[in-house]
Amino acid sequence: MSAALRPDPGPPPPFYRFYRLVARAIAPLAYSRVRHKLARQGTPADRIPERMGHATLARPAGRLIWFHAASVGESVSALALIGRILALRPEISALITTGTGTSAQVMARRMPEGCLHQFAPLDTAPALRRFLAHWRPDAVVLIESELWPQMVAEAHASGAPLALLNARMSRGSLRNWAKFPDTARWLLRHFSLIRTQDQTTAEGLRALGADTTMLAQGPNLKAMSAPLPVDAAMLKEMHREYADGPLWLAASTHPGEEDAVLSAHAAARARHPGLRLILAPRHPERGEEVAAMARIQGLTTRRRGAGEDPGGAEVYVADTMGEMGLWYALAPVLFLGASFGMQGGHNLYEPARAGAAVLHGPNHANFAQAYADFDDRGAALEVRDGAALGRALADLLDDPGRMADIGRRAERLATAQEERLDGLARSVLDTLLD
């Protein structure tokens, strides 16, 4: 275990003791639910018990840092930092835990050498203690908003110093934590290092009792994530497929957004006949549902998830996992989903790294600072609804120079963040490991 200085949070408050009793009582039901969910997501049966702390891999020799992230976005945002830490200290190993089958599939493709993946143990003392006894982490890094009380307390009790990185909490979450001030303050006092995505979270955690000597804003890990992987041969093939006319992408759309996207597509096609759309729903299992929407509007449609090539279709439904980098690299202009509904937006830095001109809706509370930075610098455009999306898309297609300029601004803004990664990696190593 690390000999790094760890703060003493003091005795647990009454609400934490109550939470432990409740967590223990509902653990069988919680495990039953996650077991069935992981099975539906295609997780091998022998890996599902990892959620109860049963390891399926051997612990590597030497020092190990445990990184925990909730799901795909959070885990991907951690990979660049993990890679940099392992480059600085190649004798160290990394373990990353997540909770979903989708995130496990993404990690299997994208983890750097020296990094292992397991499913996160449920927030119960028996599962966590089994997990910690096997992995014996020298340090623990939690990513974003994952503040599971027993995970924090048990990891600290094992002797490992903790960091909370890329912390992001909405005003509503901060208000909820403020209802339990003693517990919030006690949990935050377990951390030796806290870095937030935005000023709102920094101020909120300070008000909840975080130690100000360990708390600071930034940098944002999502701004430092590596470009999404692209199959070069497939990209060349797709360029040939779409060489004859204009193309745009609707990326990571959610229910309720596809109608707006298809209406925008129809409006833009009125000014740009031959315009084709790649429509990539956030959840690939919705592929046939989305394709049916397009067919109802009289659009020729093909689905990648069904093994079909574009074949000249007006709408190509990209309902596969792990290919978003291909679509970002292919399309010169795109709409980024989760911004018309109430999901709060998606990571703007990923398409920006590909140099695409990004259009987005007005609802992006999860990434408010990032979207403001891009919009203020002319590196992205906000549109109110589907009608505005159609007009903005047609205007950009009318002016390829402006469209390319927006993409270049976005790419410069995204890559400018990389130099801050070294500083964060060194802070983690210096603070958590002696």
Three-state SS string across 89-124, please?
CCCCEEEEEECCHHHHHHHHHHCCCCEEEEECCCCC
DSSP 8-state symbol, 246: -
Q: How many residues does the chain have?
A: 434
Residue 121 CB partners (closer than 8 Å, separation 6+): 50, 51, 52, 53, 97, 127, 128, 130, 131, 151
pTM score, two decimals?
0.78
DSSP 8-state symbol, 276: E
Q: Which of 152, 256, 234, 200 is nearest to 370 (CA)?
A: 200
Q: What type of residue sits at position 393?
A: L
Domains and CATH numbers, the chain: 14-220+418-432 (3.40.50.11720), 232-415 (3.40.50.2000)
pLDDT in tens, 234-266: 999 999 999 989 999 999 999 999 999 999 999
Residue 131 CB partners (closer than 8 Å, separation 6+): 53, 55, 118, 121
Q: Is 44 exposed, middle or buried (0-12, 13-18, 19+ CB in 10 A)?
A: exposed
Q: How far apart (Å, rounded) are the C-alpha atoms in residues 1 and 65? A: 10
Q: How far apart (Å, rounded) are the C-alpha atoms in residues 432 and 349? A: 28
Active site residues: 74
Count the helices and strands in the chain (H runs, E runs).
17, 14
Q: What type of residue sits at position 365?
A: A
pLDDT in tens, 207-222: 999 999 999 998 888 8
pLDDT in tens, 14-28: 999 999 999 999 999
Tell me whether strands 64-68 and 93-98 are parallel, antiparallel or unpaired. Answer: parallel
Residue 372 CB partners (closer than 8 Å, separation 6+): none
Residue 295 scores a pLDDT above 90: yes
Residue 385 scores a pLDDT above 80: yes
Q: Which of 385, 387, 363 is nearest to 265 (CA)?
A: 387
Q: What type of residue sits at position 151?
A: M
Residue 40: per-residue pLDDT: 92
Is the separation of the CB atoms in 86 and 94 below 8 Å? yes
Residue 150 pLDDT level (bands cut at 50, 70, 90)? very high
